[in-house]
Chain A
Amino acid sequence: MVLVFIDQSEGQIKKASFEAASYASKIAAQLGTTAEAVLLGVTSENLSNLGNYGVKKVHTIANETLTNFDAQLYTKAIAQVVEATNADVIVFSNNTTGKAVAPRLSARLKAGLVTGAIALPDTSNGFTVKKTVFSAKAFANININTPKKIISLNPNSFNISSTTDTAEVVPFNTSVDASKIAVSAINKVTGEVSLSEAEIVVSGGRGLKGPENWGLVTELATLLGAATACSRPVADIHWRPHHEHVGQTGLAIAPNLYIAIGISGAIQHLAGVNRSKIIVVINKDPEAPFFKAADYGIVGDAFEVMPKIIEAVKKIKATA
C-alpha cells in the first residue's frame, strides 16, 4: 500500500498535497496496489474528496494537538498509521512540513528516503527515484534499498489528475502526547500566492533600481495570479522580504512561467529557477547571461517595457 501524507495548515489542505496524492496513486497503480492518505489535526474540509486524486481511504487523527505542527509528534502518529496499515511506500510533499517530517520518519522506520523527487520511481529493477541535486543544476537517480520507502515530491513537479471518485474517511484511534513545541504566532502573508506552489512567478532584480519601482512587478503578478520573487541582493538590501529570495541559497522553484525583470542571471540565481517550464527575461543588457537560459526575452529598459506588458496583459484578461 502507498500512504500519502496530506498537509494542512490552520485546517486547510495545501495544493502540494493534491500533487502528492496524485503521485502516490500513480505509484500504487505501478505497484499493483492502492493508495491511502493520512491527515493529522482538525480540519473542516471534506476529506472524502481526496478520492478525486485516486486515494481510496483517508486515515484521520482529528486531535487538536496535531492541528499545530510538531515534527516529533507528527512522526510518531504517521509511524503508527504506517504500522497499522502496513504501508510500504510513504509519500510527502517536499515542502516545509515534508522536509521536517520525512527525514524523522526515515530514521524512525529505517526506511530509505529520497527528498526532492521529480518523477515516478523506476521499479523495473529495484526502486529508483529521480531527484534534483546541485540546486537543480543536475539530477540524481537514487536507489532505495530498504523494504519501506519514503519519497518527498518537489512541488510543481507532478500534474494533479482528478476524477469524481470519493474516498472512505476512517478515524485512526491513538493517543497523542503533549507537544514540546508551543506555537505562539503564525504570520501568513495574506492575499499573496505562495511562492513554492505558484504556477507563475514574477521576479525582480537590482535592475529595478529601488523598492519604489516594485509596482511593475506586483501589478503584473496580481494580474496573472502570480507570486513575486527577487534576486539575492534585492533581499539583502531589504528592498524585498527574505522569503522572496530565489536561487541557490534561497528558495528553489519550478513554476510554469518565470518572468525575470532586471536580473542578470548569475549562476547562483539560475540554480533556483532553471526548472521553470518557461523562462522570460527582460534585461537591457543583451549580454546578460540570463538570455542563455531563457525561452523568451526582450532586450530593453524595464521601465519602458513593463508598463506596455502590463497593459497588454490587462487587455487579454479583459476579453477572457
Chain B
Amino acid sequence: MKILVCISKTPDTTAKIAFADNNTKFAAEGVQWIINPYDEWYALVRAIELKEANPEVVLHLINVGNADNEPIIRKALALGGDEAIRINSEIADSFNVASQIAAVAKEGNYDLVFTGKETIDYNGSSIGGMIAELLDLPFISHAVKFDLEGSNATVTREIDGGEEVDKAILPLVVSCQKGMAEQRIPNMKGIMGARTKPLKVMEPISADVLTSIASFDLPPVKAGVKLVSADNPEELVRLLHDEAKAF
C-alpha cells in the first residue's frame, strides 16, 4: 500500500501581497514560506494517520520546485512520511506540475495520491484533477472524510450545499480539505528524524506548458467605512436598503 502526498510551498497567510518587475512577479523578498495549509493540515496528516493505523503503508511526499523548497519539505517530513521526492523544476504552470507528479505516481505505482483542495497562492484547484486524468484514475475532490478498509475507500466530499458519501476502490486520487484531519505540530523526535529521511531529487520530464502569467493587479482600495451610531441601528438598515440597495 503506497501513498503519495503532494506538498506545495506557499507564502505565509499574513504575507504582504505585492508584485515586482512591472507587476509580473510576486514580490517574494522577506516573505515567510509555509507548507500549503490544505496539503499539511489535511492531506499529509490524514495520510500519516493511515500509516499509523497500518504500518505496511509506505508514505512518500512529493514537491515540484527548486532547492529553496527543501526546508518546507523537511518540515513536512518532520510531521511524518518515509521519504520525499523533489522534482527539480521551476514552476511553469499547473499542467506542467501535474505532469511531473503524474509521471512519478505512475512509475511508483501508488495506490493513493492526496493533494490539498487548492494552494492558497494561485488558488488553482487543478493539480489533483489533472493528475487523476493523466493517470486515468477516479478523482474525488474536496474530501472532508476518508476511511480505508483494505482497498475499499469511503470518502465524504463537500458538494454545493451539503455532503456526499462515495465508495471507491483504490487506486484513487483525492483532494483534501478541512475535516479530513486535525492540524498537528511536529515534535522534537519528528524534527530530528526528518533530517536523516531520504529526500530524493529527480530531474523533470519534458511536459507541456499551457498557460502563462501576463500580470498581476491589486484590488482597488475601499473608500472608507460609513459608521452609524450604536444608538440608531435602524439607520444602518435604512442605508443598506435605500442607499446601497443591498436588499
Q: What residues make up the interface of A, taking CB atoms closer than 8 Å to B? A: 9, 14, 16, 69-72, 75, 94-97, 99-108, 110-116, 128, 130-146, 180-189, 192, 194-197, 200, 224, 235, 242-243, 245, 248-250, 252, 256-257, 267-268, 271, 274-275, 277-278, 280-281, 291-301, 304-306, 308-309, 311-313, 316
A277 contact set on B, CB distance < 8 A: 246
Nearest CB of chain B from residue A194's CB, rounded to whole Å:
4
Assess whether B129 is interfacial by the CB under 8 Å rule. yes
Assess whether B20 is interfacial by the CB under 8 Å rule. no
B188 contact set on A, CB distance < 8 A: none
Q: Are B133 and A108 in contact (CB under 8 A)?
A: yes
B215 contact set on A, CB distance < 8 A: 140-141
Q: Are A96 and B158 in contact (CB under 8 A)?
A: yes
Q: Please, how many angstroms separate the alpha-carbon atoms of A68 and B219 in the complex?
A: 38
Given pairs A135-B123, A141-B217, A143-B213, 15 additional interface contacts (CB within 8 A):
A96-B141, A103-B124, A113-B211, A134-B120, A180-B138, A184-B154, A186-B164, A187-B163, A242-B144, A256-B246, A257-B244, A271-B13, A297-B228, A298-B228, A313-B247
Nearest CB of chain B from residue A143's CB, rounded to whole Å:
5
The residue that A183 contacts in the complex, of B164, B169, B212, with Cβ under 8 A, is B164
CB-CB contacts below 8 Å: B126-170 with A? 126-130, 132-134, 136-142, 144, 154, 157-169
Give the A-B pair count, Cβ closer than 8 A: 285
Known contacts: A183-B164, A194-B161, A196-B160. The answer to whether A135 contacts B120 by CB under 8 A is yes
Q: Are B120 and A184 in contact (CB under 8 A)?
A: no
Looking across the interface, which residue of chain B has its beta carbon closest to that of A197?
A: B160
A100 contact set on B, CB distance < 8 A: 129, 139-142
Q: Please, how many angstroms separate the alpha-carbon atoms of A242 and B126 in the complex?
A: 23
Q: What residues make up the interface of B, taking CB atoms closer than 8 Å to A? A: 11, 13-14, 17, 19, 37-38, 41, 93-95, 98, 117-118, 120-130, 132-134, 136-142, 144, 154, 157-169, 178-179, 208-219, 222-223, 225-230, 233-234, 236-241, 244, 246-247
Known contacts: A248-B120, A316-B237. The answer to whether A138 contacts B222 by CB under 8 A is no
Q: Are B138 and A71 in contact (CB under 8 A)?
A: yes
Q: Are A180 and B169 in contact (CB under 8 A)?
A: yes
B240 contact set on A, CB distance < 8 A: 257, 278, 280, 296
Q: Are B13 and A99 in contact (CB under 8 A)?
A: no
Q: Please, how many angstroms separate the alpha-carbon atoms of A256 and B93 in the complex?
A: 32
- Interface of chain A: mostly helix, strand, loop or mixed: mixed
Looking across the interface, which residue of chain B has its beta carbon closest to that of A184?
A: B165
A235 contact set on B, CB distance < 8 A: 178
Q: Are A103 and B94 in contact (CB under 8 A)?
A: yes
Q: Please, how many angstroms separate the alpha-carbon atoms of A138 and B154 in the complex?
A: 37
A136 contact set on B, CB distance < 8 A: 219
Q: Are B166 and A250 in contact (CB under 8 A)?
A: no
Q: Are B213 and A72 in contact (CB under 8 A)?
A: no
The residue that B162 contacts in the complex, of A14, A95, A186, with Cβ under 8 A, is A186
B118 contact set on A, CB distance < 8 A: 99
Q: Are A295 and B222 in contact (CB under 8 A)?
A: yes
B141 contact set on A, CB distance < 8 A: 71, 96, 99-100
